[in-house]
Amino acid sequence: MDTTLDDPLVGQTLDGRYRIDARIAAGGMATVYRALDTRLDRILALKVMHPALAADAAFVDRFIREAKSVARLAHPNVVAVFDQGTDGPYTYLAMEYVSGCTLRDVLRERGALQPRAALDVLEPVLAALGAAHRAGFVHRDMKPENVLIGDDGRVKVADFGLVRSVDTVTSTTGAVLGTVSYLAPEQIENGVTDTRVDVYACGVVLYEMLTGDKPHTGGTPAQVLYRHLHEDVPPPSAAVPGLPVALDELVVQATARTPDLRPYDAAALLGLTLDARSRLTDVELDAVPPQAHAEVRSSAEDRTSVIPRTAGARQPVEHTSLLAEPPLPGPAAQAPAPEPAPGRARAGVRVRRGPLLVVAAVLLALGIGTGVWYIGSGQFTKVPNLLGKTEAEARSELSAAGLGVKRVDRKFSDAFDRGTVMASDPQGAKRIRGNGAVVLTVSRGPEVVVVPDVKGRPLEAAKAELTKTGLAPGIVTQAFNEDVPQGSVISTEPNGGQKRAPDTAVSITVSKGRPVPVPGVAGKPLDQARTALQDLGLKVETAPDEINSPFPAGTVANQSVGAGAQAAAGDTVVLTASKGPRQVPVPNVVGLEADAARRTLEAAGFKVKVERAFLNFTNIVDVQSVPGGQNAPEGSQIVLRIKGL
Q: Distance (Å, rounded) from C-alpha 521 to C-alpha 573?
A: 11
Q: Distance (Å, rounded) from C-alpha 530 to C-alpha 538?
A: 9
Question: Closest by alpha carbon to 271, among 192, 186, 199?
Answer: 199
For residue 28, give every residue at least 6 positions away whose Cβ sits within 8 Å of its Cβ, in sequence order, or none.
none
Q: Distance (Å, rounded) from C-alpha 61 to C-alpha 55?
A: 11
Q: Which residues face 443 on adjacent strands?
A: 411
Sheet strands side by side (includes 505-511): 472-479, 505-511, 489-493
DSSP symbols for 574-638: EEEEB--SPEEEPP--TTSBHHHHHHHHHHTT-EEEEEE-SS--S-BEEEESS-TTSEEETT-EE
Active-site residue, from 141, 159, 194, 571 = 141
Q: What angle do CA 103, 106, 112 make, to 5 degrees?
A: 100
For residue 144, give every residue at least 6 positions away whose Cβ sits within 8 Å of its Cβ, in sequence order, or none.
102, 103, 104, 106, 107, 205, 208
For residue 515, give every residue at least 6 positions away whose Cβ sits within 8 Å of its Cβ, in sequence order, or none.
480, 482, 566, 567, 568
Q: Is 409 a catalytic residue?
A: no
Asked, as a colleague might, if the bond just before 581 is cis with ω within 30 of 0, I would say no
Q: Distance (Å, rounded) from C-alpha 389 to C-alpha 386?
A: 6
Residues classed as catalytic: 141
